[in-house]
Amino acid sequence: MKFKDYNIDSKIKSQLEYLGFNRPTDIQFRAIQAILDGEDVMAVAPTGTGKTAAFVIPILNQLLRTNRKDNGGIRTLILVPTRELAKQIASVVENIGIKTGVSVLGLYGGVDQDPQIKTLNKKLDVLVATPGRMFDLISQGYIDLSGIEFFVIDEADLMLDLGFNKDIQDVLRHLPRKRQTLFFTATINKKIKSLAYDVVRDAIRIHVSPKNPVSKNVNHAVASVEMDDKRYFLENLLKEFDEGKFIVFSRTKVRVERVVAAMKRVGIETEALHGGIEQADRFSILDRFRNGANRILVTTDVACRGIDIPDMDYVINYDIPDNPENYVHRCGRTGRGNNKGHAISFCAENEEELLTAIQEYTGQEIERFELAPSEYKDIVDESDFNEKDWKKLLSDSDNPEGWD
């Protein structure tokens, strides 16, 4: 089945064709018709499978086919856990709905609320929001959710991980009983099921989850690298594949900044992304990365969930994640759609247990890069880090910027 075969508005079909959307992914195929039929949906699908379009396409269509209610308020609420996701999903709604006249606002904290309030004072079809800023503006009287026709919870598992369970329960008290509710999550457990049953009623259940939750479009490999040598191996990779697009994951914002500084010392320009950076700057960094102005992003797990970067070639796990699920979400930044991708991990001796947990979670052993001692030594010795000016090295060690 192709998108042109769906009973959806021609303006949406035309834009999908323009965007290169020809055939629905599995989650889209299984969810779109159910949503068009007015069903509540509880969907579980791995990251990178097209969940956002699975609910955006039918919601846009239904907004076009039904008249706005008399109160003229917000018709659709899409609740998300992070600011980056709010901005991204609002952009998807805009892109797919550009010919429809449907209005959308991405609402999140960390930026001036006055422009957001100005948009809220107009007739608004779709609100994509994080809980914090939304409740702030509800308390100030700028948001009325009594006319909501479609309520979407996206990345529900991350919502729970970030402690938003009470916020979701509070949202329900502001919504009308008669509504269509869509619940999307990448993983499922007892807590998520319990939340879903509180939110959806007689829902169509969709579970798109292969035995291995990691995309088949991604080639995985791991190299045993001592913690203090990781910078040499990252330098080697970035210089060898000097036209590739990389996202490099490190464990903490301090380590992210140190990796960026370390790469700068050897002539490799990267940008850092983490929660300690101002929100407007974070958006600018992501925009530069998306449009190719910067090809190497070094980040914490703030960018591992739901962030869609086109043409991502390589995911580098500079540090092995503490949570096996985050390995799946990190690697989901590449190999999206029909594209191929590569995930390469640097594993120090004290991270072997974390690697084992990942392999048990995915049910698949990650291929090892077996480096001979001489090969390992060559990578370290050939690095531009190996300066002979020991006075300078000692001086740098007093100001550890650039060192892990």
Q: Give kind and range of the element (H or E) at residue 127.
A: strand 126-129
Those residues with Cβ within 8 angstroms of residue 398's Cβ, 6 or more apart along the chain or in another chain: none
Q: What burial class does residue 364 get, using C-beta atoms within 10 Å of its C-beta: 0-12 exposed, 13-18 middle, 19+ buried? A: middle
Q: What's residue 402's pLDDT? A: 46
Phi, psi of 212 (to 5 degrees): -95, 115
Measured CA to CA, the distance from residue 253 to residue 272 in angstroms comes to 8
Q: How wide is the angle at C-alpha 105 spanned by C-alphas 297 and 159, nearest 5°? A: 60
Measured CA to CA, the distance from residue 155 to residue 152 in angstroms comes to 10
The SS3 call for residue 35 is: helix
The ranges assigned to domains in the chain are: 3-207, 218-398
Q: What's residue 393's pLDDT? A: 43
Q: What's residue 89's pLDDT? A: 94
Measured CA to CA, the distance from residue 209 to residue 319 in angstroms comes to 26
Helix, strand, coil in percent for the chain, rounding step 5: 45, 15, 40
Q: Which fold has domain 218-398?
A: Rossmann fold (3.40.50)
Measured CA to CA, the distance from residue 387 to residue 280 in angstroms comes to 37
Low-confidence stretches of the chain (pLDDT < 70) are 68-72, 209-215, 306, 337-338, 387-404
Measured CA to CA, the distance from residue 195 to residue 318 in angstroms comes to 34
Q: How wide is the angle at C-alpha 158 spanned by C-alphas 275 and 354, nearest 5°? A: 80
**What are 318-352's pLDDT values in tens digits?**
999 998 888 988 888 887 766 788 999 999 999 99
Phi, psi of 68 (to 5 degrees): -60, 140
Q: What is the pTM of this model?
A: 0.74
Q: Give kind and range of the element (H or E) at residue 260.
A: helix 253-265
Q: What's residue 62's pLDDT? A: 96
Q: Quick one: tokens of 190?
A: 């007892």
Measured CA to CA, the distance from residue 82 to residue 108 in angstroms comes to 8
> Which amino acid belongs to residue 157?
D
Q: Can you tell me which residue has the tokens 């659709």?
A: 76
Which CATH code, of 1.10.10.10, 3.40.50.300, 3.40.720.10, 3.90.1150.10, is assigned to 3-207? 3.40.50.300
Those residues with Cβ within 8 angstroms of residue 67's Cβ, 6 or more apart along the chain or in another chain: none
Measured CA to CA, the distance from residue 12 to residue 9 in angstroms comes to 5
Q: Quick one: tokens of 344?
A: 């390469």
The answer to whether the 3-207 and 218-398 domains have the same CATH topology is yes
